[in-house]
Every structure is written in structure tokens, then in C-alpha cells.
């Protein structure tokens, strides 16, 4: 039995379709990344899967239970951390944990031991008497995660858990997710960060309310639309990357170019001589490293998928 299964899940708001026939399956212990631009339907999807929002049509099962028919049975089995810090700012860390523990039906010894466990797990011990509203962003996220994990949920939904927190806290949060997923907890995470997406066991990309792709990062990179036959991906670095980008785009044999800071990812025809590219750039007065063969990044994948999808719509 998968931890989560959505089948043709659809939600319309009036004439607007926020999520259009999304189907996917998440196995137990997976970290499932849900990506997509703002407004693509990620939050609507999560809200439907949590039982907050009734789908217009379609089905979803969480931990084997039909969310549409029995949202109240699903609630004790899931944890949810929303995009915005949404615990009680005027309660202390301890009081927030106590409240959510009780609301999830924990009491007595079990409440105490679970509280101690999440405090230990997230390192909140020194902050117990601090008002939640006075914590920094990273610590607020930890508290929110602690509250979401208190009742040992089988499936945890994290809506942009790392938005606006520092890189160290971000890394620590992900380490924690791996630890918990190894122990059998399933996570559905939305994010804008590609490096986070690369760490997911499975990623899905939502574009204009449609789930345009879903799979393991490696499988997505091997999709024909990302990696057409008789082509290869190259990477070169140049301090003047934006000027290099303009030149390379006009170069015959270069099918696609993307900038990553000083680096450029290029999809080129297999027959194209890589050495000629750097020579051409140097001739134009730009410094450049020799191009090397690379795997496409997930960002390359999503750009390719988005373009293909947009073309289909037209």
C-alpha cells in the first residue's frame, strides 16, 4: 500500500482550474518534492491532500484512507506545516507543543515522552519558555516541524519549509527529513530550491495546474524531451556569462543555453565540436573554460518540460 495516491485529482475555483487531473503515487519513506512556479497549484494540491479542501473531482488516498470521504480519519495520521509560520505567537514553545499534543489526543505519559522526543530531535530544549513569536525564522520552522511531528504522523506535508531561512538551518532541516524518512515517515515537500529538489527521492513538476512530470530525478533527466537523441549536455564557465549566453544562443548546433551564475549549460548537437565553442568565445574577447560533458540539472529538466508543455497548449 503506497503512503499516498492521487488519481485525477482536480480542483476548480469558479472558472479557474487550480489543479487539473493530477495523478501520482508516493511510496512509504519517500521524500516527494512538488515543484512549480507560484500559482501553479502546489498549495491547493496540499490542501486537498490534507482534507482542508474538497476536490472538485478525482480521488486521493493518504495512508490507505480516502481523504475525500473521510477527511477526519486522515487528520490524525498526517502532519502539516504551512508556508507561513502559523503557530501561536503569543504562546511559548512549550505551550504550543502542549496544545498541539493535546489536540492530537496525546495525554499523560505519552504526551510527555513525545514532547521530550521532538524537543530533543529539533534541539528546542533551550527555547521552551520563549514566546514563539520571538523566535527567529529558522527556529520557528523547527517549532512548526516539532508540532507537526508530535503525534508521529505517517505522512507529513511541508509547504515551502525552507523559504526564508538561512542555508545552515536549511541543511539541518533536510538532514532531519532524511533521518525521519529512513525511519519510515513519508514527506511531501514543496520547494523553489533546485538543490532541494535534487535530494528528493521523487519529484513532480506542476505547471499551469497540470502535473507535467513526475519521477526520480535521474529518470527525469533521461527523458527524451530533456535529452533528445543525438544531443549532449555541456557545461562551461565564463566570468562574462551573460554575453557568452547571447553569443552561444546564436551559434549553430547549440539547441538550448541556460545560465547558472558563471556557468552555462548547453544542449548541443552530438556532432558539434566542443572545443570550437570556447575558441569562438575567446575570439570574441571573452574568457571561457573548456566545455565538459554534464548531466542536465533538474532546472534544465523543468525548463525543457515547461517549453514542451507550453508548445502543446498552443
Partner 1 sequence: MLHGLRAMVYKEAIQVRRDPATRIVFVVPVIQLLVFGYAIDTEVRHVPTVVFDADRRSASREFLSRFEATGVFTITGEAADPSGVRAAIVSGRAKVGILIPARFSDDLLHARAAQVQVLVDGSNNTIATQTLAAANGIALQAAAALLPARGLRAPIDLRPRVLFNENMESANFFVPGLVGIILQLTTVFLTAFSIVRERERGTMEQLMVTPVSRWALVLGKVLPFVAIGCIVSLVVLGLMVFLFHVPIQGNQALLLALSALFLVPSLGLGILISTIASNQAQAMQLGFLVMLPSVLLSGFMFPREEMPLVIYGLSCLLPVTYYIEILRGIILRGAGMADLWPQAAVLAVFAVVIFLGSTRRFHKRLA
Residues near partner 1 (CB under 8 A) are 50-52, 54, 72, 75-76, 78, 80, 82, 84-91, 95, 99-100, 102-105
Closest to partner 1 by CB, 52 or 121: 52
Closest to partner 1 by CB, 77 or 235: 77
Q: State the minimum distance, in angstroms, from the CB of residue 131 to partner 1.
A: 9
CB-facing half-sphere around the CA of 190: CA atoms within 13 A:
23
The alpha carbon of residue 208 and the mean position of all alpha carbons in its chain are separated, in whole angstroms, by 16
Q: State the minimum distance, in angstroms, from the CB of residue 52 to partner 1.
A: 6
Closest to partner 1 by CB, 32 or 100: 100
Q: Which sign does the torsion angle of CA 209, 41, 45, 18 carry?
A: negative
Q: State the minimum distance, in angstroms, from the CB of residue 17 to partner 1.
A: 20
| Pairing label, strands 231-237, 4-13 | unpaired
Q: Cell triple for residue 310?
A: 507550453
Q: State the minimum distance, in angstroms, from the CB of residue 16 to partner 1.
A: 19
Closest to partner 1 by CB, 76 or 239: 76
Q: State the minimum distance, in angstroms, from the CB of residue 203 to partner 1.
A: 24
Q: Cell triple for residue 72?
A: 477526519
Query: How far is 81 from 86, CA to CA, in rounded Å?
Result: 8
Closest to partner 1 by CB, 95 or 299: 95
Q: State the minimum distance, in angstroms, from the CB of residue 92 to partner 1.
A: 9
Report yes or no: 233 and 296 within 8 Å, Cβ to Cβ: yes
Query: How far is 286 from 244, CA to CA, in rounded Å?
Result: 7
CB atoms within 10 A of CB 233: 21
Helices and strands counted in the chain (H then E): 11, 14
Report yes or no: 197 and 33 within 8 Å, Cβ to Cβ: yes
Closest to partner 1 by CB, 56 or 258: 56
Q: What is the DSSP string of 29-62?
A: T-EEEEE--TTSSHHHHHHHHTTSS--SEEEEEE
Q: State the minimum distance, in angstroms, from the CB of residue 107 to partner 1.
A: 10
Could you tell me the CA-to-CA distances from 308 to 22, 191, 245, 301 in Å, in that order? 18, 22, 21, 11
Closest to partner 1 by CB, 147 or 204: 147
Q: State the minimum distance, in angstroms, from the CB of residue 139 to partner 1.
A: 17
Closest to partner 1 by CB, 104 or 302: 104
Amino acid at each position: 500500500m503506497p503512503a499516498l495516491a492521487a488519481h485525477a485529482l482536480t480542483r476548480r475555483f469558479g472558472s479557474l482550474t487550480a489543479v487539473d487531473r493530477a495523478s501520482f503515487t508516493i511510496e512509504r519513506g519517500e521524500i516527494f518534492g512538488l515543484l512549480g512556479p507560484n500559482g501553479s497549484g502546489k498549495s491547493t494540491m496540499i490542501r486537498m491532500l490534507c482534507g482542508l479542501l474538497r476536490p472538485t473531482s478525482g480521488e486521493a488516498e493518504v495512508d490507505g484512507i480516502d481523504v475525500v470521504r473521510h477527511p477526519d480519519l486522515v487528520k490524525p495520521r498526517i502532519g502539516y506545516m504551512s508556508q507561513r509560520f502559523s503557530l501561536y505567537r503569543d504562546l511559548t514553545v512549550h505551550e504550543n507543543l502542549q496544545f498541539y499534543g493535546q489536540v492530537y489526543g496525546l495525554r499523560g505519559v505519552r504526551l510527555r515522552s513525545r514532547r521530550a522526543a521532538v524537543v530533543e530531535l529539533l534541539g528546542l530544549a533551550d527555547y521552551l519558555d520563549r514566546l514563539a513569536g520571538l523566535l527567529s525564522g529558522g527556529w520557528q520552522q523547527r517549532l512548526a516541524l516539532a508540532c507537526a511531528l508530535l503525534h508521529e504522523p505517517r505522512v507529513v506535508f511541508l509547504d515551502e519549509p525552507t523559504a526564508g531561512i538561512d542555508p545552515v538551518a536549511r541543511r539541518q532541516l533536510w538532514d532531519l527529513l532524511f533521518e525521519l524518512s529512513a525511519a519510515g515517515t513519508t514527506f511531501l515537500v514543496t520547494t523553489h530550491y533546485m538543490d532541494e529538489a535534487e535530494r528528493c527521492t521523487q519529484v513532480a513538476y506542476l505547471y499551469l495546474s497540470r502535473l507535467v512530470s513526475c519521477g526520480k530525478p535521474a529518470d527525469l533527466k533521461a527523458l527524451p524531451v530533456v535529452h533528445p537523441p543525438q544531443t549532449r549536455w555541456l557545461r562551461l564557465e565564463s566570468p562574462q556569462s551573460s554575453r557568452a549566453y547571447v553569443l552561444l544562443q546564436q551559434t549553430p548546433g547549440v539547441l538550448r543555453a541556460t545560465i547558472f551564475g558563471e556557468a552555462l549549460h548547453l544542449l548541443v548537437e552530438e556532432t558539434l565540436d566542443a572545443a570550437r565553442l570556447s575558441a569562438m568565445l575567446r575570439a570574441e574577447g571573452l574568457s571561457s573554460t573548456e566545455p565538459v560533458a554534464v548531466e542536465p540539472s533538474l532546472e534544465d529538466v523543468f525548463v525543457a518540460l515547461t517549453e514542451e508543455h507550453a508548445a502543446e497548449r498552443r
